[in-house]
Amino acid sequence: MPIATVNPANGETLKTYEAMGEEEIERRLQLAEATFRTYRTTSFTERARFLNRAAELLDDGGQDIARVMTTEMGKPVKQARAEAAKCAKAMRWYAEHAESLLADEEPAAYDVKDSGASRALVRYRPLGPVLAVMPWNFPLWQVVRFAAPALMAGNVGLLKHASNVPQTALFLEDLFHQAGFPEGCFQTLLVGSGAIDEILRDERVKAATLTGSEPAGRAVASTAGNMVKKTVLELGGSDPYIVMPSADIDRAAEIAVTARVQNNGQSCIAAKRFIVHTDVYDRFAERFVEGMKALKVGDPLEEDTEVGPLASEQGRADLEELVDDARRSGASVLCGGQRPDGPGWYYPPTVIADVTREMRIHREETFGPVATLYRADGLDEAVLIANDSPFGLSSNVWTRDEAEVDRFVRDLEAGGVYVNGMTASHPAFPFGGVKRSGYGRELSGHGIREFCNITTVWHGA
């Protein structure tokens, strides 16, 4: 895949870049290793000053980078601006909290005495250069939620971004450099996916994090495992959105629309499977379909656009295959389901009902504005449908019954359970999944400790 900005709204190639050669990659690896030796000794105060400055620069340039993201991968420009603001917020959060999150921990006095020590503690130390393999769908946020904690912990970053968002990737390198981080703290590697394996095998790279597809995650995990290196993987999701009779049905249907089509439906944590109790199914379905039909699809640079194009022609073709397979197998298409005429890689908001386990759309992730509707006779069946998926990233449940909430929290196989609302990431809360959605956590204290050497310090009596 070429390293290029191709506007998905019209298919026009705007910029192309040559992939870095072996000599440039080697130079950057040397720089990362050398920078880490000194950067690891900087204080939290100094790192926080750099990161707060990066947040200021991002606030100042949010409008410009938003337009770049929109022209590179098609998200509505209002959502792109919100993404930039969210990144600045996360930077400030880690600048404020990293020191306390990584403070030395003292075991209980009884355990210290029992071990024969005069004193003991646990200290978090940085690992070194960390390779981040990042996707195009949230081209700023996915990187910052790795980079902010990693840099505050004293690590340095090497970014291999998706090949269709090179301008965003270069912007990030420049942003951290302009903020005052020493040269080599954060570097972008403009390389194709074929270069990842060799870079990860390099002894100077100490760990890796990947957000992306399951095949990409398997490849990175396999190489890292062979080299005995730590990895964090955030892969696909097919999140359930469960609606029970006690819920505010109108509100649940309204939020369901946003939960499905955020980022043009190209989000791992977007709700994708809508599982509705049979007592309120018809009412929810009517309102949900009305909401999906009412969305404005159009030029993502226009302020009132709610759904823009998919990021690639192949992505649209993959989505069409899933919808067509479901239709041929007997599913009902309640709205959408047909590629529109004209330029760009658009696909309409679509709702599919009467889905069965044999359909591909039941098992595979729909990466675009396509929702599937399921009936459930009760809570037990809702949980069975929700868990009948290879993925387990997050989940949404709508109910006013606290006993039902407790059951869902206990039984849903997911990294998160969001009650009477839609899944959204926040720097204070851990983010990640189970099953084929990956392992490890980003954000919060859990995320910043993922790439630390957890060191026991023991003093004899």
User: Where are any strands of DSSP class E within 58-155?
Assistant: 117-126, 129-133
- C-alpha span between 233 and 434 (Å, rounded): 10
- C-alpha span between 256 and 259 (Å, rounded): 5
Question: Which of 173, 234, 365, 404 is flagged as catalytic?
Answer: 234
- Least Cα distance to 417 among 403, 406, 427, 428 occurs for 406
Q: Which helix (H) or strand (E) holds 365?
A: none
- C-alpha span between 452 and 442 (Å, rounded): 13
268 is catalytic: yes
234 is catalytic: yes
- C-alpha span between 88 and 427 (Å, rounded): 11
Question: Which of 83, 173, 185, 268 is flagged as catalytic?
Answer: 268
Query: CA geometry: angle at 443 spanning 438 and 444, to 5°?
Result: 125
Q: Is 431 helix (H, G, I), strand (E, B) or coil?
A: strand
- C-alpha span between 225 and 201 (Å, rounded): 10
- Least Cα distance to 147 among 461, 447, 372, 458 occurs for 447
Question: What residue has token string 């939620």?
Answer: 145
Q: Is 50 helix (H, G, I), strand (E, B) or coil?
A: helix
- Least Cα distance to 389 among 355, 419, 422 occurs for 355
Structure-block tokens of residue 446: 């859990």
Which residues are catalytically annotated? Answer: 234, 268
